[in-house]
Copies of this chain bind each other. A is one copy, B any other.
Amino acid sequence: MIKTQRNELSAELRERHQIGADWKFGRRFNVRWSEVDSFSHANHTSHFGWIEETRNLYLADAGYPLRDKSVPGPIVREVGCIYERSLLLEDDVFVTARTEWLGRTSFRMNYAVWSEGLIANAFAICIWMLSSDASKRSIPQDLRSYMQALDGAIERSNPQP
């Protein structure tokens, strides 16, 4: 199965959406009818769906595609989002992702949602966990290296949580 290219950040999209140079990975979305609510805006939960999808593709690009509960993967421990502007049906959306820090079993990624300018800033702290028995696992070394090389993610010896 040929997959589409995971990282869709290009010079053209940087310019269109005014995305800063400190973002290295991102994905395109379009606001779908199913994401628009009765206020005719993209509902605020849609952003978390796009962010989750972008995180998963970032991890897949690093060699760790999400699979199922038999394989360690990211479990969300904490999220937050600040919304600056609303989005309408069919709006061209771009979501960027980068890793801010890495602990032994947890990491924090920041996200931004763009559409010809900034729409929202968000973050998620995830734990690397085997879902089948809910055990925390060390983040694999090659995933750490990917995050450090791409984003300059810093090591934290005693991260919260």
Which residues in A have some Cβ–Cβ distance to B below 8 Å? 1-4, 16, 28, 30, 32-34, 36-41, 43-45, 48-49, 52-53, 56-57, 60, 65-69, 73, 75-83, 86, 89-92, 115-116, 131, 134, 161
Contact = CB atoms under 8 A, between A and B. Distances in A.
A40 B80 CA distance: 23
A-B residue pairs, 5 tightest by C-beta: A80-B80, A39-B131, A44-B76, A78-B82, A45-B48
B49 A32 contact: yes
A38 B79 contact: no
Nearest to A78: B82
Nearest to A82: B78
A73 B39 contact: yes
A89 B38 contact: yes
Contact of A41 (B36, B83, B91, B131): B131
Contacts of A39: 68-69, 73, 75, 131
Given A1-B115, A79-B80, A33 B90 contact: no
A149 B38 CA distance: 29
Given A2-B16, A49-B32, A83-B78, A40 B38 contact: yes
A66 B57 CA distance: 28
